Structure 1
Amino acid sequence: MKGSIHVRYADGRKETVCAGDVYYWPPGHTVSVDEDYEALEFSPAVEMTEVIAHLNKALGN
């Protein structure tokens, strides 16, 4: 919807996703942004709950 986001995969591959792109990021990726980024994402509820729990733990929340 706005901006772009950079994705790096565990195998070293890189890609940039821009506003309006449709994408799928399999497990084993890290993202970074260097500008404001807005997106609408759809994720399976169970898997997303696991991701959020991991992020909270990593951030000490």
Structure 2
Amino acid sequence: MFYGYPISQWVSIGVYLISIVILFAVICLFSAYLTNTYFKENKIKVSRKRAAKEKKWFYDVA
């Protein structure tokens, strides 16, 4: 049933895979939090920069 390996080895592999998935989820959530925080802080600066730029129109003729 377990292809000749002890069940403790299968359990340790399962624990390892679950820990990798949890670590990946924590990194993704932390990255999303930092990105959201960064854009909230710089939202005013970005909108001012966009308003200060001249509006230019580009026409693609290709």
Q: In which range does the TM-score fall when normalised by the shorter chain?
A: under 0.3
More strand by share: 1
TM-score, L = length of structure 2: 0.28
Bigger Rg, which one: 2
TM-score, L = length of structure 1: 0.28
Greater relative CO, 1 or 2 (CA 8 Å, sep 6+): 1
